[in-house]
Chains A and B, each alone.
Chain A
Amino acid sequence: MSSPLPAAVVRSLREIVGRGHLITEPDRLVVYESDGLTAYRVPPRAVVLPASTEEVSRVVAVLHAANIAVIPRGAGTGLSGGALATAEGVVVGTARMNAILEIDASNRLARVQPGVINARLTEAAKPHGLYYAPDPSSQSTCTLGGNVAENSGGPHCLKYGVTSRYVTSLTVVLAHGRVVSLGGAGADPNASLDLVGLFVGSEGCFGIATEIEVRLLPIAEGVRTLLGIFDTMEAAGRAVTSIMGIGLLPAAMEIVDNATIRAVEASVFAAGYPIDAGAALIVEFDGTEAGLDADADRAEACCVQEGASAVQRAAEADHRAALWKGRKKAFGAMGRIAPDLLVQDATVPRTRLPEVLVRIAELGERYDLKIANVFHAGDGNLHPNILFDRLDLDELDRVERASKEIMALCVEVGGTITGEHGVGIDKRDYMPLVHGPEELAAMAAAKAVFDPDGLFNPDKVLPLRTQGTEPAAGAEA
């Protein structure tokens, strides 16, 4: 249970953001007790919702002067507990900082506040023939600030890359409210150390991004979507390798497995995927209309060669949406078949996918757990989703052990423990699987450059031993 904020702090915060934008009532704080990873819940001491860089700066200054930790928060869709509060910390949310400040079509840039929803930026850029490329599956709800903090990816990052490729400049509020501008699209990218690149992916531990400049891309002239149906996951995995092997670079390549197909088909989101299929592979090409059919033909040949029993193709938006439906609605559908879902996120070298998928299935059997795979196959970015009931403590224990083994397996074959969801609190203790003590110490030192007193998002990302702090109070796994 957290203690109330000192009255002087409350007064100062109210003065800065206005009475209505400081939340201290316990029943309202419940909304902020977790992010998309609901296994961890800690109600914050308070939530502050500033509206500008200046307000963020003043809010941070007040809180840090009182030695109170700040937990930045966007939409709370994170899947690693990154926006989870600490009992004595205050959440600073960006919900009111949701203005698109500028679309500079002639330089293909946009400047936004951090609370802008990812999909809204693409909508706003559309009249200019432009869009924002990184497209997390949560894009209709997650914020650009959250994307920057997590260096988020998405289905189309196979061809277009992740958030860090698009961020050209940031205004950030650092410890004690210091405001710093980093980067700039018109400047020499090597004029100073790449501080923008270092800040992206810092999971709210370095400071708060309050203004973000990103590159936009021209909307592709045409799109072709293929849906290949396979008897086994292995065959679908081989098709992915074979498509890349012949030199094609699809915009997206996504796989859903049989467990997911069954969940989707049994739900209101039924997409018409055959329920006995071992896997469905979505392959999407975009770009100049003229070359798309030839690319799609070649990809289809790869699918058939690797044993696809059927391949559908779509060019029109409605038909394409239908092929994507089973992939896009997977998470929603899984909610129906188990009370809890752990969305695991790890990356392996693409060529190791078939082998890793077999071994994950074996792990599911060994731990008697239902594991459903929905993932960005082209990047080797796996999402084994473990279905469970957290009230069943024995099952919860098996989930944790299986989850750890999945991460260890991915590391063993040359991969890593998280491809896009971040470390947050969830994977903090698994960091030693991929990084040695020297690397972890260097990361801690990098955090200290931005946040010397450890007052931004404490206890996240780095194992507590590296941070030299005590375990997060109140965190329940």
Chain B
Amino acid sequence: MTERVTTSLSDVVPEEALSLPSTDWGRFGPGANVVVCPSNVDEVAATIRWAGATGTRVVPIGTGRHTEGNEPSGDFLLLSTSRMASVQIYEPGDLTLTAEAGLGISALSKVTAENRQWLPFDPVDFPRRSLGGLGAAGQTGPLWTGYGELKNHILGMTVVCGDGRFLKLGGRVVKNVAGFDILRPVVGSRGALAVITSLTVRLFPRPVVDRLLVLEAKSLVDLVGPARAVAMASVLPASIVLVRERNVCQLLVRLHGAAETADADQRTVEAAAGVPFVAVDGGSARVLADSVRDIGGESDLALHAFVLPSRLRELLAIVNDMVDLNVCADVYRGSLRVSCAPEADADEIATRVRHGMERVAEDVVVERLPRGSTHSLGTSRVRSDAVLELERGVKRVFDAGNVLWDGRP
């Protein structure tokens, strides 16, 4: 199969764009018929048209590292944007950057750091994501508290739809209401609507002070009171995170701003929580924040539960005594990510946690499971027929032939 597909694909894309399937391309790597790494938009479109014509599903990926959801069952190819990785326009004075989708976040960060600018997002494994993958996943991380959601900072995109159509969505400016915002559903659609080939993002000035306030306690629920008090305080921190890893429980409040501001905000936070925190600044703060961000990144199990923030305590109570679980909660959103150590029995843990969470949470998303798990990936939320119909309609706008794989759980 692989050989036949590769041969006819090489009629439409150059040989160097084709790679053999392997685990190097992430979870779906081994099962794919072929991996195509186009070097430009025309090759993306040609690949998609070819796939449509041959009944092959297309799964868009960046590096493949963060592929989630269900694997396609029939013939499919992975379309990686990894060879499309150039910065196209960077105007520091505008605080905007346009780059091809395959640009890695760490490479992007190096470019913007020269001007003390950054993309203030922190989903798991952020630096190792591609810009396109970030947009397709639509995940912001806890820094949304201070900066808003990723989707609000994606100003424009170019995409190739399921029939090979090339569309320019949005623009390069921070305010733009010229027409219906058909960019928005693409963000977070995980490649189900279109292959993102470039993005324009809004950047932010790097804060002068990056401070992490740390409070430790014996159990997670002991930290909920202070965490909620901080979330209700008059200052809005950059993020508020509650973590438990290897049975160490911490509340981490991240403050960004000028030195005077950070000092004053720290006093406000401590007054709200009613306890002093340990303050970590600068490089050490970033190292700690990064390690917390990536908790569970390598775990076989990833469960994500969502409630309104005022009900976070109820969610945490479920996992409080399950000390073999690693937990990372975004206090301002009211979400909780659960993972486990490599040696743990992920399937057994999923059984223990899932049911309890589903009773409390508005959404429980099983994002990752060990191979052979008795559970299935997916969300507990039942979307109404009307919403599903609208979603199908939007899918048709971009990919009427259903060429692009919708693996969203």
Binding site for B on A (CB under 8 A): 104, 106-107, 109, 129, 150-151, 153, 157, 161-162, 164-165, 174, 178, 180-182, 184-195, 197-198, 200-203, 205-206, 217-219, 221, 241, 244-245, 247-249, 287-291, 294-295, 347-351, 376, 379-381, 414-423, 427, 431, 434-436, 438-440, 442-443, 445-450, 461-462
Q: Give which listed residue, A182, A294, A380, A423, contacts B178 with CB less than 8 A.
A: A423
B151 proximal to A (CB < 8 A): yes
Contacts of A150 in B (CB 8 A): 177
Question: In the complex, what's the smallest C-beta–C-beta distance from A40 to chain B, in angstroms?
Answer: 18
- Identify the closest chain B residue to A431 (Cβ): B179
Contact A417 B178 (CB under 8 A): yes
Contacts of B74 in A (CB 8 A): none
Binding site for A on B (CB under 8 A): 91-96, 116, 137-139, 148-149, 151-152, 161, 165-169, 171-182, 184-185, 187-190, 193, 204-206, 208, 232-236, 257-258, 260-261, 263-265, 268, 304, 306-311, 334-335, 362-363, 365, 379, 381, 383-384, 386-387, 390-391, 393-398, 408
Question: In the complex, what's the smallest C-beta–C-beta distance from B15 to chain A, in angstroms?
Answer: 30
Contact A247 B148 (CB under 8 A): no
- Identify the closest chain B residue to A248 (Cβ): B205
Q: Give which listed residue, A294, A348, A423, contacts B177 with CB less than 8 A.
A: A423
Contact B363 A418 (CB under 8 A): no
**Measured between alpha carbons, how far is A313 from B91 in the docked complex, in Å?**
31
Contacts of B193 in A (CB 8 A): 193
- Identify the closest chain B residue to A163 (Cβ): B177
Q: Give which listed residue, A202, A249, A435, A440, contacts B204 with CB less than 8 A.
A: A249
Contact B179 A423 (CB under 8 A): yes
**Measured between alpha carbons, how far is A356 from B379 in the docked complex, in Å?**
49
**Measured between alpha carbons, how far is A185 from B181 in the docked complex, in Å?**
20
Contact B260 A205 (CB under 8 A): no
Question: In the complex, what's the smallest C-beta–C-beta distance from B231 to chain A, in angstroms?
Answer: 8
8 contacts between A and B (CB under 8 A): A109-B308, A182-B387, A188-B362, A194-B151, A288-B235, A415-B171, A439-B179, A443-B179
**Measured between alpha carbons, how far is A308 from B178 in the docked complex, in Å?**
34
Question: In the complex, what's the smallest C-beta–C-beta distance from B223 to chain A, in angstroms?
Answer: 18
Contacts of A245 in B (CB 8 A): 92-93
**Measured between alpha carbons, how far is A195 from B386 in the docked complex, in Å?**
12
Q: Give which listed residue, A197, A295, A347, A442, contacts B176 with CB less than 8 A.
A: A347
Question: In the complex, what's the smallest C-beta–C-beta distance from A61 to chain B, in angstroms?
Answer: 15
Contacts of A351 in B (CB 8 A): 91, 93-94
Contact A418 B178 (CB under 8 A): yes
Question: In the complex, what's the smallest C-beta–C-beta distance from B141 to chain A, in angstroms?
Answer: 12
A419-B173, A461-B179 known; A188 and B93 CB under 8 Å? no
Contacts of A449 in B (CB 8 A): 390, 393-394, 396-397
A201-B181, A379-B175, A434-B178 known; A195 and B387 CB under 8 Å? yes
Contacts of A422 in B (CB 8 A): 177
Of B94, B171, B179, chain A has the most CB atoms within 10 Å of the CB of: B179
Task: Apart from A106-B309, A288-B261, list 9 A-B contacts with CB within 8 A.
Answer: A107-B310, A164-B152, A165-B152, A189-B138, A247-B116, A290-B263, A351-B94, A442-B397, A446-B182
**Measured between alpha carbons, how far is A440 from B180 in the docked complex, in Å?**
9
Contact A347 B173 (CB under 8 A): yes
Contacts of A217 in B (CB 8 A): 236
Contact A291 B257 (CB under 8 A): yes
8 nearest A-B residue pairs (beta carbon): A197-B184, A291-B261, A449-B393, A290-B264, A247-B205, A419-B175, A351-B93, A186-B308
Contacts of B174 in A (CB 8 A): 347, 379-380
Contact B149 A165 (CB under 8 A): yes
**Measured between alpha carbons, how far is A107 from B397 in the docked complex, in Å?**
35
**Measured between alpha carbons, how far is A168 from B334 in the docked complex, in Å?**
14
Contacts of B190 in A (CB 8 A): 190
Contacts of A440 in B (CB 8 A): 179
Contact B137 A190 (CB under 8 A): yes
Contact B182 A442 (CB under 8 A): yes
Q: Give which listed residue, A291, A349, A381, contacts B172 with CB less than 8 A.
A: A349
- Identify the closest chain A residue to B265 (Cβ): A288
Contacts of B94 in A (CB 8 A): 349-351, 380
A187-B362, A287-B257 known; A443 and B175 CB under 8 Å? no
Contacts of A205 in B (CB 8 A): 180
Contact B310 A164 (CB under 8 A): no
**Measured between alpha carbons, how far is A414 from B390 in the docked complex, in Å?**
33
Q: Give which listed residue, A218, A221, A294, A434, contacts B171 with CB less than 8 A.
A: A434
Question: In the complex, what's the smallest C-beta–C-beta distance from B390 to chain A, in angstroms?
Answer: 6
Contacts of A295 in B (CB 8 A): 258
Question: In the complex, what's the smallest C-beta–C-beta distance from B13 to chain A, in angstroms?
Answer: 22
Contact B176 A419 (CB under 8 A): yes
Contact B264 A192 (CB under 8 A): no
Of B168, B176, B206, B268, chain A has the most CB atoms within 10 Å of the CB of: B176
A178-B386, A186-B334, A449-B390 known; A438 and B165 CB under 8 Å? yes
A416-B171, A420-B177 known; A191 and B390 CB under 8 Å? no
Contact B175 A188 (CB under 8 A): no
- Identify the closest chain A residue to B175 (Cβ): A419
Q: Give which listed residue, B165, B257, B363, contacts A187 with CB less than 8 A.
A: B363
Contacts of A191 in B (CB 8 A): 363, 365, 379, 381, 383
- Identify the closest chain A residue to B144 (Cβ): A189
Contact A165 B365 (CB under 8 A): no
Q: Give which listed residue, A161, A203, A450, contacts B390 with CB less than 8 A.
A: A450
Of A190, A203, A294, chain B has the most CB atoms within 10 Å of the CB of: A190
**Measured between alpha carbons, how far is A438 from B258 in the docked complex, in Å?**
46
**Measured between alpha carbons, how far is A295 from B264 in the docked complex, in Å?**
14
**Measured between alpha carbons, how far is A57 from B400 in the docked complex, in Å?**
30
Contacts of A180 in B (CB 8 A): 384, 386-387, 390
Question: In the complex, what's the smallest C-beta–C-beta distance from A203 to chain B, in angstroms?
Answer: 8
**Measured between alpha carbons, how far is A427 from B176 in the docked complex, in Å?**
13
Contact B168 A439 (CB under 8 A): yes
**Measured between alpha carbons, how far is A150 from B408 in the docked complex, in Å?**
30
Contacts of A182 in B (CB 8 A): 387
